[in-house]
Structure 1
Amino acid sequence: MTGTVLDDLPEEIVVGNILVLLPPKDVGRCRAVRASWLSATSTPEFMLNHHRHQPSLPVIELENHLGVFRGSADARPPCQLLSPFHPFVRIHAAGDGFLVVSQLVSSRFLVCNPAIHQNASLPQPEIRPSNAVLAIYRHNPTGEYRVLWSSLVEVDCGRHETTLHALTVGGRQSRNITVSSSSLQHELLEALPRDRHSAKYPPAHLCGNLHWMWMFRAQIIVFDTVAESFRLMRSATTDSHNCLHKLFDVEGKLALCSPDSCFQYMGVWMMDDYVAEIWDLEYRIDVSSMEASRPLNLASPNKKKEKENRSQN
């Protein structure tokens, strides 16, 4: 009796149950074995499913570098620098494992995959004070990844207006998105996070929509990525002055993290019914009783080497 080999298994089992669980580098090696594996592992569906099976490796900004935190303060080093990125970079958006970063020296935008240390240049948007990258998202009808960005342009003497643009990753030209002439649509567009706030307050991706908390308002701004229009959604709380509210996706549900005014408790709300906009308080965490974690030694390798040389001398 002989053992089972890969050739005995159906292709969908090999791809959907074995290759999808491998680390990124091993998937790359498997692509060189068979043309069918190369084709099957290059689809957006496989790559998204593969990303969901990978361990979470938080990416942090470290003295103008990008690094992957390995999850332990005792790790040596606790943070591994990402390459081949230029040392002076800035994170603008993230989604499905991809990052949109800019190189401050060369004025280029890149879409990066930290898992396999690869990147691709974006022809737009150019780095200007009035431009802001808002999000990178998957357009479900086409399977394309798109970068959403806004630009402040002068329409009349002394009067400025925010315009919205979309760029398909791999494309050569951005496309203007026509926002309806209603005052609400333009007010929501103006209220989107800009500059460094766009990375600090990223949108939550859910149901083909992007969701942002409206700063100093107890409401959520929703951008429909198919209809390319804005609308408002009810928030879980009525606290309109707390700018620390965070939206995120928890297993396919929209969630809101909301600290109280004294920062003693953290509430985690879950939207049980997306259509009816019904929220439930799932967790109430006593932050005051939590012990602070040890500070991490996240100095760059050059700084660490300089410090070691000074101590030896």
Structure 2
Amino acid sequence: MAEAASEGATPPHHGLPDEIFIWEILVRLPPKSLLRCRAVCRAWRSATSARGFLLAHHARQPTLPLVYVRNRDFNDGVFPYGHDGNNASLDIIPVDHRAAADHLRSVARLDQASDFYRLEGSCDGLLVLSLDDDTHFVICNPATLIAGSKDDCYVLSLGSGQPPRNIGPEQTHKLISDTRSVLFRGRLYWYRVQEKVKNNMIIVFDITAESFRQMHVPVRGCTGDDLFEMDGMLGMSSFRDTWTIIDIWVLQDYESEVWTIKCKIELPLMEIRAWCRKDDELCELVVVPGDGELLVLIKFAEWLFQVGMDGKLVATFHRKGVRPTQFQLKQTLVQHDFFPTLEGYVVNNFPFI
């Protein structure tokens, strides 16, 4: 009877060899789709749970810029998720220019978040969010919505199994709450705007030595504040007085702190204003690295525009309340061992919807 059942069963992949189906098809799926595929059969669940497969799957995921949307009123018909008008949420959304605007989907949605949570960082497939007064942080893997929280400021060695190390709140709280950072070659970099002095600096935190130092910016009184990695070098954007041209600088000589201009991006402002039928100033602009090139995200009115290094529009999205960030997400299902070491470790629980 067992043989008859086996012979009559139809393979879920219609006879394709498992080797091809697993390593050529399943490895290319988005994380959520892959998790659903594990319910098809035990062989798929076993193969797609192996660390080697998960690393290969992570390597094939696109690196996408992140935006967020604060939803203060669910009765406006934009995000009707069954909540009443007294609640609010925060949606974190990866922007893929290959998808239609109405197909953009959030990877994490936080309940009652509009007055409390902010997206502070993204690294190794994880998101870092701050709570209220910047003394409480939530770290989550949006692919699985496993999250942990900690008070104060800590250094987390991902994958080491070691507990977080407290580095003290005084300087890090000020940096995290005021500026944006980038991780490059084992160091965190913040561009700190000092309004009372014109000699702005970049603050560097060495995550191994756990020490701070300062670096010079490419131009005295630089008006840009986006730091990023470009072609294996630290990069920074700088705006002209007219806000129509972005200069892209790279740190050519790290030891001597010598910056050179990599390229200039002329923004299509007239085209953007014509598209929105408004002549207002730009609301918000960030420069983020994409897969192999830089991208410029521009918020104008209720629109989000994605501009390439050649100054041409790549994509347009109409979404009420959308805000660009400098962060990127490359989703992963690889397990991070430090989650169970964190106080407040939860799976699919508040504050995530």
TM-score (norm 2): 0.53
* 2:155 counterpart residue number: 166
Cα distance in structure 1, aligned partners of 2:119 and 2:148: 14
Aligned equivalent of 1:236: 218
Is residue 49 of structure 2 the alignment partner of residue 38 of structure 1? yes
Matched, 1:282 2:262: yes
Inter-CA distance 47–222: structure 2 relative to 1 (3 Å threshold): farther
In structure 2, give the amino acid aligned to 1:232: Q
Kindly indicate whether residue 192 of structure 2 is the aligned counterpart of residue 214 of structure 1: yes
The structure whose RCO (Cα within 8 Å, separation 6+) is larger is 2
**Inter-CA distance 47–234: structure 2 relative to 1 (3 Å threshold):** farther
Give CA-to-partner distance per residue, 1:8-35, whole Å, 9 cap, x none.
89xxxx76x7655332134435666253
Counterpart for residue 93 of structure 2: 68
**Does the C-alpha gap of structure 1 residues 20 and 238 become closer, same or farther in structure 2, counting only changes over 3 Å?**
farther
- Residue of structure 2 aligned with 1:121, choices 148, 155, 174: 148
**How many residue pairs get matched?**
235
* Alpha carbons 2:247, 2:265 under 8 Å: kept: yes
User: CA, structure 1 residues 21+113, in 2 after alignment: closer, same or farther (shift >3 Å)?
Assistant: same
Contact (CA 8 Å) 1:65, 1:81: kept in 2 or not?
no
Hey, what does 1:98 align to over in structure 2? 126
Question: How big is each residue's C-alpha offset from its partner over 1:196-251, in whole Å with a ceiling of 9 and x where there is no partner?
Answer: x3xxx3211111111111223343211111111112223222225x3x42111224
Distance 1:206 1:83, change over 3 A: closer
Alpha-carbon distance in structure 1 between the residues aligned to 2:94 and 2:20: 40
**Structure 1 stretch 255-264 or stretch 21-30: which is displaced more?**
21-30
Q: Shift of the alpha carbon at 1:83?
A: 5.0
Structure 2 partner of 1:204: 182
In 2, the alpha carbon distance for the partners of 1:290 and 1:113 equals: 39
**Mapping 1:1-313, distance limit 5 Å:** 5-7=17-19, 20-28=27-35, 33=44, 35-41=46-52, 46=56, 49-50=59-60, 53-54=61-62, 56=64, 58-63=66-71, 64-68=89-93, 75=100, 77=102, 79-82=104-107, 85-88=110-113, 89-102=117-130, 109-114=137-142, 116=143, 118-122=145-149, 124-125=150-151, 149=153, 165-167=154-156, 174-177=164-167, 189=171, 192-195=174-177, 197=178, 201-216=179-194, 217-239=199-221, 242=223, 244-287=224-267, 290-292=270-272, 294=276, 295-296=302-303, 297-299=318-320
Q: CA deviation at 1:41?
A: 4.7
Alpha-carbon contact 2:27-2:53 (below 8 Å) kept? no
Q: Distance in 1 between matches of 2:106 and 2:128?
A: 17
Distance 1:278 1:19 in 2: 45
Deviates more, 1:281-290 or 1:213-222: 281-290
> Could you report, residue by residue, the CA deviation over 1:85-122 in whole angstroms, capped at 9, with x for unpaired residues?
31414323222332122566xx97432333x2513122
Q: Unaligned stretches of 5+ in structure 1? A: 126-130, 132-148, 150-164, 180-185, 301-313
| 1:118 partner letter | L
Aligned to 1:307: none
Give the AA of the match of 2:155. Answer: A
Q: In percent, how many aligned pairs have the same letter?
A: 25
What's the offset of the Cα at 1:258? 0.5
RMSD over aligned CA atoms reads 4.1
Deviations along 1:165-192, one digit per CA (max 9) or x if unpaired, are 334579896432379xxxxxx9xx3795
The structure 1 segments of at least 4 consecutive aligned residues displaced by more than 4 Å after TM superposition are: 17-20, 29-32, 45-48, 69-72, 81-84, 167-174
